[in-house]
Amino acid sequence: MACCAATFLPGGPSSRHTGQRRLAAGTEYASAASWWRAQRVHPIRPLVWACARHDARESSTCPSQPRTQPNSGAALKHVSSFTWIARDASPIRPNPEPSPPPKTSYKLTAPMRRLERPWREWIWAVGDDFAEHIRLRQACLSNENTRRKVLATDGAPETLEAARELAELLVSHLVERFPEHFCLNADATELFVRPTKETYLLEDWLSSKPMDLISCICVEDMVLLKPVSDAVQKELEEREQTVLDRQYDVALSCVCFSFGNLHARLSLPLVTLHENVPGFAQDLRKVTDKIFAKMTPDRGYTRHNWEMRTNGEMLHPSIDLGDAVKGQLDVQRFRSMSPEQALESLWFRSEYQSVRRLPRSGFVLFAVRSQTDPLVRLKEHPTVARELLHRMDNMSPAFLEYKGIPQTEKEQIRRYILGMAEGPVDTDRAR
């Protein structure tokens, strides 16, 4: 289907309700629990209440009485880019060998964790860089030239409806999961976001610009996937000469940080999107298909990803430099510096990825949270450094280069990380 960015027009909703303003003095904000009850009769959209019940059945921690101001909330903490690899790091992994023997065969793996009710790890913690990342997203979406680079949709009515469903589900989740940062007024018409001190009139945003609302309240990049048509499914099965699980393609992307060239990815099946990932076809294709086939609205999955770069810019470089630019290590810049400067210029960039099926539309949401830190901070987390070296030693040269580590620079980078891996076990696991 042809690309269409006109579904989500630049600018805010109507001039009467801008959808974004300072919190009015004296506005009463209800707790999440009282909001759930109010949804039974609130006219804005019935699905909001349905999603709230879907996400919050287990919750009984919020006070039920309205209050005059939102929770004061705890101080925002830094979300380290080492957090997610630290969760899976072995605390007893021995120090890696200085020069391990070369391997002759490699197998690509992508360990996943189950994501289930009450969805506590669907959207990661609100960090101290939340407001900064939201401002970056808003700046990209408010400029006509950059908007088309970070937002792409196939324009289908069912895709817009799935975007509305996602926005409603996200609002209900945020006020339940992070009540110290997100709060609704008493009649559930306005959402207050404490870290940015902004208020959003929900009815206007949900009806006309759901992805803009999501970008104002959530730092995750969002991709909506839908089942391919019967014709495309048949074409794929004939090409591969086998019966396949139902395949999925990209229906909508709102992405600022994790990848670029969005319009070229629209309506492409996942197998086509991953053609350039070394080892995906032989090692992960069938696993991925099975996960999508068995995924229900009650169960999703999470995983993490990482790469090396030579700067700490959060926005994907393709936004400024063109669709062909990838977010990898700048080898020319790396080689132009002295060895010490080159290594100190390295940044570790990680992604927390989650997939879950939307309950009403059946679309699959792929959400990506990106974080970055100077690689030198690994010296504070030797356990993570050992885990990273273990993974590097078990990756093929082609996949390492895909991660931003060319074979010509691997040993230099490896020795640098090795020097930070020789330390005590870090009990905080990089959190």
CA 196 to chain centre: 19
Q: What is the pLDDT of residue 123?
A: 92
d(CA 371, CA 365): 20
The owner of tokens 């799935």 is 162
Note the pLDDT tens digit of each residue in 100-126. 777 777 888 878 899 988 899 999 889
Looking at per-residue confidence, does 104 or 164 come out higher? Answer: 164
d(CA 326, CA 238): 32
DSSP-derived secondary structure letter, 74: P
Sign of the dihedral through C-alpha 286, 292, 295, 299: positive
Report whether pLDDT(246) > 60: yes
Q: What is the pLDDT of residue 25?
A: 31
* CB neighbour list of residue 284: distance below 8 Å, 6 or more residues apart: 108, 109, 110, 274
pTM of the complete model: 0.81
CA 223 to chain centre: 9
- At residue 317 the predicted structure's pLDDT band, cuts being 50, 70 and 90, is confident
Note the pLDDT tens digit of each residue in 262-278. 888 998 888 888 888 88
Note the pLDDT tens digit of each residue in 10-52. 344 432 334 443 333 333 334 333 333 344 333 333 333 333 3
The owner of tokens 């010296």 is 379
State the chain's mean pLDDT as an integer: 80
Strand order in 198-201's β-sheet?
Answer: 29-30, 182-185, 190-193, 198-201
Q: What is the pLDDT of residue 199?
A: 96
Contact 358, 364 (CB under 8 A): yes
Report whether pLDDT(58) > 50: no
